Amino acid sequence: MIDPVNNFEIPKEWIALTKLPRVELEAKIASGMIVVLSDGAILKRGYTTGTTASAAAKAAVLSIKKTINNISVSTPVGLRAYIDVSESSQGRAVAKKIHNDHESDITRGLEFVGEAREAKEIKIIGGKGIGIVRRDGLPVPRNLPAINPIPMAQIRAAVLEAVEELGLNGAEVTISIPEGERVGKKTLNSRIGVEGGISILGSTGFVEPWNDHLGEMKGDLIRCTDKVVLTTGRIGMRYSHMLFPGHTVVMIGSRISKGLESASGDVIICGLPGLVLKWGNPDILKDCEYATVVEMLEKTPEHARLKEAFEMAVKKGKGARVIIIDRDRIILMDSKSEFKPGKRN
């Protein structure tokens, strides 16, 4: 069976150890909502802030003319997400971010409020509780609500579905998170330049679960192959499949050192600059004017600390090839120089 969120082929041995009936297991895997571990245990995925905001926005538009109790929206990986609507009245709806098995997800249970009115076109407004970007170097320009491009497209697509269902020309939707400012203070947002709330994120629409056993499962997967790419996130995973089709691609987030402990043979570390360069040199941003590695890259691409951090990452890699890639699939750095930096590969 294939996990449809990350295209990982779940080993038959793991499937055999699960305790769920086969039909139920297949349905839950197909929905994208569970992850099967090497011992047959199951962890629950959740929906991202982007998916939850999409649900609240679509429900708000539909509630202009009908009562809504649950909603379905598309996710960036093509699967449908199904979310209950806790409140629905004329032009207003509330959806809660569902619980998951990610131990440090502090946004679980947050209420997302959508407020909609008919308009000539689709317009999405970030309301109270959604942070405002105050620095350069982030995916969203300065002084705009912190709604990343992929979830913004997801929200617009959800609103379009509602607009078409009701036969409207458009809708103006304001999304707010009543507890967003309070929760935002518990995140790293202020350090990277997002103030006044949380960010709306999500490149797949799903929150990956995490606990120590999941880390063990990824270690098992890495040990089972002699050609592996350790990648830091969804974008790195997507492009690693394109760049290295003969390798097993494993997403390990910031736990690069842990992944290397299990790896042997042909090992590649591939990811966005933030995590890989900060892994190479955790102090890359210490006592400098930049809030993020991306901001440093954009404003001073020849900064000595970038080269130094990359060289430190290569040294930490102990023979692993290290590749830094941006969101547009441009190779920024390659320790083996097989890809030409600055070109789409």
Pick the closest to residue 205 from 327, 81, 338, 336 (CA basis): 81
Rounded Cα distance between 64 and 162, Å, is: 10
* Secondary structure (3-state) at 44: strand
Q: What is the pLDDT of residue 58?
A: 98
Domain 2-44 fold is: CbiD-like (3.30.1990)
Backbone angles phi, psi at 112, to 5 degrees: -110, 125
Sort residue 129 into left (φ over 0), alpha (ψ -120 to 50) or beta. left
Q: Quick one: angle between helices 149-166 and 49-62, nearest 10? A: 20
pLDDT < 70 positions in the chain: 210-217, 220, 339-345
* Residue extent(s) of CATH 3.30.1990 domains in the chain: 2-44
Class of domain 211-334: alpha beta
* Residue extent(s) of CATH 3.30.2110.10 domains in the chain: 47-206
Pick the closest to residue 335 from 275, 267, 253 (CA basis): 267
Domain 47-206 falls under CATH 3.30.2110.10: yes
Alpha carbon 70 to chain centroid distance? Answer: 24
Q: Each residue of 37-67: pLDDT tens digit?
A: 878 889 899 999 999 999 999 999 999 999 9
pTM given for the model: 0.75
Q: What is the pLDDT of residue 41?
A: 85
* Residue extent(s) of CATH 3.40.50.10720 domains in the chain: 211-334
Question: What is the sign of the dihedral through the CA atoms of 293, 299, 302 and 303?
Answer: negative
Quick check: 178 and 129 in contact, CB under 8 A? yes
Q: What is the pLDDT of residue 330?
A: 84
* Secondary structure (3-state) at 23: helix
Sequence-distant (≥ 6) Cβ neighbours of residue 125 within 8 angstroms: 145, 172, 173, 174, 175
Q: Each residue of 94-132: pLDDT tens digit?
A: 999 999 887 778 899 999 999 999 999 999 999 999 999
Which residues does residue 96 pair with via DSSP β-bridges, in sequence order?
111
